[in-house]
Amino acid sequence: MKDNKGKNKRKTQGMSKFAIWIALVVLMLFFSVASSGFLTPTNLFNVLRQVAVNGIAAVGMTMIIITGGIDISTGSIMGVASVGCASLMAMGVSPIVAMVIVLVAGLLIGICNGFFVYEIELPPMIATLAVSTILRGTTYIISGGLPVYGLPKSFNIIGQGYFGPVPVPVILMIICFVIGWFILEKTAFGRYIYGVGSNSEASRLSGVNVRKVIYAVYGMCGLFSALAGMVLLSRVNSGQPKAGENYEMDIITAVVLGGVSTSGGEGRIVNVIVGLLLIGVLLNGMVLMNIPDYYQRVVKGVVLLLAISYDKLSQKRARKGV
């Protein structure tokens, strides 16, 4: 009986992975017909550059969702990192020092999220939503509600530079995904992350330090989100109080589309890349077709709802042995 359930589980995961690849190919074919400018090298690199910010943050989000949690504060961490880093550089702080300060701040914010989730036992969505609200207000306090300018030109390379034909943000995203892949697939800590998501109590009884795992994944999510915020800052060349607003929804959608179960314990970070590209292609194609922003929001909401619904239905089928 257990063997059958295991086979059904693997079969469901395989179908999910196969389905998202088909969806990506179909979507690309559709937009290539609908818009002559879609399937060009320039636009395809543009898609990669556009998804790079979300992709960097998605690495941390993947780890959190695998543990069975979620982080709604990701977009706000990006915003406060963007404004904070811009403010520091505008005051004359060197870009490297400013970036280190902001990365440490992102790490500490993530650890703070972990504290409320593990120690206070708040639901992850409520805890991170509250932190998100605080951080979004903080961005306006720091900036006075106005964009922060005065960034050194050397900082532009992070968001606007190229290494050969490849945009630097894309390279940073690839590096982050490689780091995430190595942690999840090649280390004991990665196995602990999956174990906590599958059954935290069983993991604790087997000797896993669940507290350490929760603090670490939320801390890393804060760190990656802060890095994403600085890439976004470099792209727009100013610290915007609204930077990162609602980005967490696109990030969560990409992770769930990539087959990471919202119930925890399942999913591979490699597949998240496909989910990320799917969202990127969808948004880019709608822009090329001049679809208004409010329609785009409806489409993104529907995609997220369908992805989560598919995840839950797949789990039900696996449990029933269908």
Separation CA 247–CA 136 (nearest Å): 13
pTM of the model: 0.88
Question: What CA–CA distances, in Å, run from 287 to 188, 212, 291?
Answer: 43, 43, 6
| Tokens, residue 126 | 């409520």
Where do the structural domains in the chain lie, given as residue ranges? 37-316
pLDDT tens per residue, range 194-247: 999 988 888 888 888 999 999 999 999 999 999 999 999 999 888 899 998 889
The residue with greater pLDDT, 65 or 164, is: 65
Mention every residue, 6+ apart, whose C-beta is less than 8 A from residue 172.
Answer: 52, 56, 158, 227, 231
CATH architecture of 37-316: Orthogonal Bundle (1.10)
Residue 2 confidence (pLDDT) above 50: no
Question: How many beta carbons lie within 10 A of that of residue 194, not counting itself?
Answer: 18
Separation CA 71–CA 54 (nearest Å): 14
DSSP per position, 96-114: HHHHHHHHHHHHHHHHHHH
Look over the chain and give the mean of its residue pLDDT values, rounded to a whole number.
Answer: 87
pLDDT tens per residue, range 112-169: 999 999 999 999 999 999 999 999 999 999 998 899 988 888 898 998 888 888 899 9
* Residue 120 DSSP label: S
pLDDT of residue 17: 59
Question: How many beta carbons lie within 10 A of that of residue 27, not counting itself?
Answer: 15
How confident is residue 318, by pLDDT bands cut at 50, 70 and 90? Answer: low
Q: 276-298 as b/e, with b when 16 or more CB fall inside 10 Å?
A: bbbbbbbbbbbeeeeeeeeeeee
Residue 81 Cα to chain centre, angstroms = 15
Mention every residue, 6+ apart, whose C-beta is less than 8 A from residue 41.
Answer: none
pLDDT of residue 9: 52
- The backbone torsions φ and ψ at residue 120, rounded to the nearest 5 degrees and listed phi first, read -85, -15
